[in-house]
């Protein structure tokens, strides 16, 4: 498999990770079937950009985009060596009744647009190309809720970096030069107990989230609980906060009483988000967990690698493939803490990787 590092002197082009937030999204997670399915998936990689153009050209103001990402076991099947340096199965986290579950998933399609019909059409075209080659394990249709609020009533994504800061936070540079232009993404589907949440006084909700509900102003640290959601999701290395890009979406089925948030976070290293989840589920310190988990339950969990658009364009269906193992690779890793770093750093290094020349 040709990697971007071998493709010449031009810097690889990332997939549109930092695209502006949209009004609609489809999150599609599939597993790859046995047999000749690898060829169909590899064939789609280089054709995805053409499918995107064919659908998006009809509505240029729709801001249609699509991210294609791969799980650890799927990477071995499709591409073999070399591997992205930090790609591994999603690590489950369990603490008391709180459980960040790991669920099957080989390929993620994150489809975004201003209109759901554009998302739907592209998803349909993708699945038509992969008919018989994959099985859908999760499909969520998300919507932007009023002024970017989740179903808990709070604005979601306020602290997202933008423009160059978003690229610096999400796009791999010199730390893994063979996969420069790539990124990591973690997804989880959360179901909410809205009846229980809405029974809380607004002030109690605000102290759980760490922001005021109406104005979205961060509560002063002097009175904000250390277990507040925004406190536990703040990761600092060498005195500097390490940012990620979230594009969470509400979803639900009113008739079934199902209400939730699809969490999706992009980062330059998965350790950033893994540390956030460790803080939320176990606590910082242990026991000082995120009280939002008393009302929200994670029912899926996956870690994927997002190769650069350059990488996808260079994939060919007839390249030599790694033989499939006789026994399927485990879909998940058992629960384990994030490896400690003596100086308190996540060990990610500088946020600003130098572009390859």
List active site positions. Answer: 156
- Bridge partners (DSSP) of residue 66 are 111
DSSP 39: H
What whole-number distance in Å separates Cα of residue 134 and Cα of residue 270? 26
Contact 156, 247 (CB under 8 A): no
Contacts of 183 (CB under 8 A, 6+ apart): 14, 15, 17, 170, 171, 172, 266, 267, 268, 305, 306
DSSP 257: T
Comparing C-alpha atoms, which of 41, 37, 98, 96 is closest to residue 70? 41
**Distance of alpha carbon 340 from the chain centroid:** 23
What whole-number distance in Å separates Cα of residue 106 and Cα of residue 81? 17
Q: What burial class does residue 99 get, using C-beta atoms within 10 Å of its C-beta: 0-12 exposed, 13-18 middle, 19+ buried?
A: middle
**Distance of alpha carbon 298 from the chain centroid:** 14
DSSP 57: T
What whole-number distance in Å separates Cα of residue 106 and Cα of residue 305? 10
Q: Is 352 helix (H, G, I), strand (E, B) or coil?
A: coil
Beta strands in 71-208 (DSSP E): 93-95, 98-100, 107-113, 134-143, 183-192
- Distance separating the N- and C-terminal Cα atoms of the chain: 21
DSSP 277: H
Contacts of 354 (CB under 8 A, 6+ apart): 173, 174
Contact 26, 127 (CB under 8 A): no
Q: Is 274 helix (H, G, I), strand (E, B) or coil?
A: helix
């Amino acid at each position: 498999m040709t990697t971007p590092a071998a493709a010449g002197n031009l810097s690889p082009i990332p997939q549109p990770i930092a695209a502006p937030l949209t009004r609609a999204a489809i999150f599609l997670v599939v597993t790859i079937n046995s047999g000749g399915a690898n060829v169909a998936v590899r064939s789609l990689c280089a054709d995805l950009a053409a499918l995107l153009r064919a659908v998006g050209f009809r509505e240029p103001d729709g801001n249609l985009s699509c991210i294609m990402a791969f799980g650890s076991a799927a990477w071995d099947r499709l591409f073999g060596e070399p591997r992205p340096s930090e790609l591994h199965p999603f690590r489950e986290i369990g603490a008391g009744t709180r459980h960040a579950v790991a669920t099957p998933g080989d390929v993620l399609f994150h489809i975004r647009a201003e209109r759901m019909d554009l998302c739907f059409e592209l998803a349909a075209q993708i699945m038509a190309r992969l008919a018989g080659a994959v099985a859908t394990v999760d499909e969520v249709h998300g919507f932007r809720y009023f002024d970017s609020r989740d179903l808990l009533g709070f604005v979601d994504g306020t602290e997202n970096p933008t423009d160059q800061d978003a690229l610096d936070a999400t796009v791999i540079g010199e730390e893994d030069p063979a996969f420069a232009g790539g990124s990591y993404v973690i997804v989880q589907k959360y179901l909410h107990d809205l009846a229980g949440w809405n029974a809380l006084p607004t002030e109690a909700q605000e102290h759980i989230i760490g922001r005021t509900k109406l104005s979205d102003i961060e509560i002063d640290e002097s009175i904000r609980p250390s277990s507040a959601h925004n406190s536990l999701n703040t990761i600092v290395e060498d005195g500097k906060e390490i940012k990620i890009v979230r594009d969470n979406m509400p979803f639900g089925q009113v008739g079934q009483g199902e209400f939730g948030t699809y969490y999706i976070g992009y980062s330059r290293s998965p350790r950033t988000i893994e540390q956030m989840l460790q803080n939320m589920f176990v606590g910082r310190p242990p026991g000082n967990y995120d009280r939002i988990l008393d009302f929200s339950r994670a029912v899926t969990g996956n870690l994927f690698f997002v190769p650069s658009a350059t990488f996808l364009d260079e994939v060919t269906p007839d390249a030599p493939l790694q033989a499939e193992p006789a026994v399927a690779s485990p879909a998940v890793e058992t629960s384990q803490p994030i490896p400690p770093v003596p100086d308190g750093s996540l060990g990610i290094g500088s946020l600003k990787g130098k572009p390859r020349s």
